[in-house]
Amino acid sequence: MPKGSNQKFKLYRLAQIMLDKTDDEHYITMPEIMKALAEYEVTADRKSIYNDLRDLEKLGIEVEGEPVGKGYHYHVVSRPFELPELKLLVDAIQSSKFITERKTNELIGKLEKLVSRYDAMKLQRQVYVSGRIKTMNESIYYTVDAIHNAISENKKIRFQYYQWNVKKEMELRHGGAWYHISPWGLSWDDENYYLVGYDSVAGLIKHYRVDKMLHIQMSEEDREGREYFKKLDMADYAKKSFGMFNGKEQNVKLLVANYLAGVIIDRFGNDVMMIPKDDEYFTVNVQVHVSRQFLGWIISLGEGVKIISPDEVVEQMKEEIKRLQRQYTILKI
């Protein structure tokens, strides 16, 4: 039998058809396969299609045929990603504040192409689970890429940094001054992306919201601060920094009610040492950057947690409580 038309596209189109139209719950028959190929102006006989279905496995697309009546129906039984895995990725993208709304939809659209049209509808429903506030900085993807490139080439970066003013306008910080930083890593905290780097002028490790960085450029200068980052555990750094706000790093002892044990473990990890004090309370020593955000976290836990030491931090908490009392006593709107 002579070969059909457009044979060089046949295997590609067959893969498209099987991936798009079939899954564990949806099947396609041989006549339907031939009809779908014809829509792409590809003609083929049954025997060659049987061979092609077997060849798809070499491309990582496993197709299974099952007898139904006098014929067979076929479907894809394995894919690079399972539907539950893609749902997790969709949820992560949707809940990430540093990804813009437009880019969120683009990324999810690409993920939908990894499953059948039927499962893609299930992913699309996931998109609207959460109405998160999104960044408006479309250049964040290029910023992240530039940071990774600088890290791999051991170079500093230069960028400007902005904040929002009361008119909802982007306003460059420090009058538009350029920041010159040695990038050492990226951290994800409170659904935001942060650059963690070394400021050689200040002699400090600092972090910056990636979506607030503008006009990033790779410097010709080599990175500095290696000795600091050799001793730095990036995950531990994020754990100690509440909301990624800086503060003096200190060992703080807390008295905590037993019912808040889960809160402590969630924040500081399963290896944190909790020493029972009595039947209702335990003490725990945690290494944190003591900032107003840390004190606010303690306050938010109510009477179930109390700072025991050091005295310096206890006094900071007392001053913060006095400040709040003054603010809500004097403030009149």
Domain containing residue 308: CATH number:
3.30.70
Judge if pTM exceeds 0.75. Answer: no
* Domain count across the chain: 4
Which residue, of 62, 95, 127, is where some domain finishes? 127
Give the model confidence (pLDDT) of 182-215 as tens digits: 998 888 776 678 888 999 998 888 889 888 899 9
Is the domain of 146 the same as that of 216?
yes
In this structure, which amino acid lies at residue 251?
A: N
* Higher-pLDDT residue of 210, 91: 210
Is the domain of 88 the same as that of 61?
no
| Residue 28 lies inside a defined structural domain of this protein | yes
Strand partners for 204:
199
Distance set, CA 1 to CA 32, 37, 44 (Å):
21, 18, 10
Is 234 a residue whose pLDDT tops 70?
A: no
CA distance 113 to 20: 8
Predicted local confidence at residue 154, as pLDDT: 95
Is the domain of 171 the same as that of 203?
yes
Tokens linked to 251: 């060992």
Average pLDDT over residues 209-232: 88
| Residue 162 lies inside a defined structural domain of this protein | yes
CA distance 28 to 288: 59
| Residue 67 lies inside a defined structural domain of this protein | yes
Predicted local confidence at residue 5, as pLDDT: 60
CA distance 194 to 237: 12
* Higher-pLDDT residue of 208, 243: 208
| Residue 117 lies inside a defined structural domain of this protein | yes
Is the domain of 73 the same as that of 108?
no
Give the model confidence (pLDDT) of 276-307 as tens digits: 999 999 999 998 888 888 898 899 999 999 99
The band of 122, judged by pLDDT with boundaries at 50, 70 and 90, is confident
Give the model confidence (pLDDT) of 146-156 as tens digits: 999 999 999 99
Measured from the Cβ of residue 249, the count of other Cβ atoms closer than 10 Å reads: 13
| Residue 147 lies inside a defined structural domain of this protein | yes
- Whole-number percent of the chain with pLDDT over 70: 86
| Residue 233 lies inside a defined structural domain of this protein | no
| Residue 323 lies inside a defined structural domain of this protein | yes
Identify the domain containing residue 121 by its residue range.
Answer: 83-127
Of 290, 177, 285, 187, which is closest to residue 229 (Cα–Cα)?
187
Is the domain of 154 the same as that of 217?
yes
Is the domain of 206 the same as that of 146?
yes
User: Using an 8 Å Cβ cutoff, are 86 and 42 in contact?
Assistant: no
Predicted local confidence at residue 129, as pLDDT: 43
Is the domain of 37 the same as that of 70?
yes
| Residue 152 lies inside a defined structural domain of this protein | yes
CATH number assigned to the domain comprising residue 71: 1.10.10.10
Average pLDDT, the chain: 84
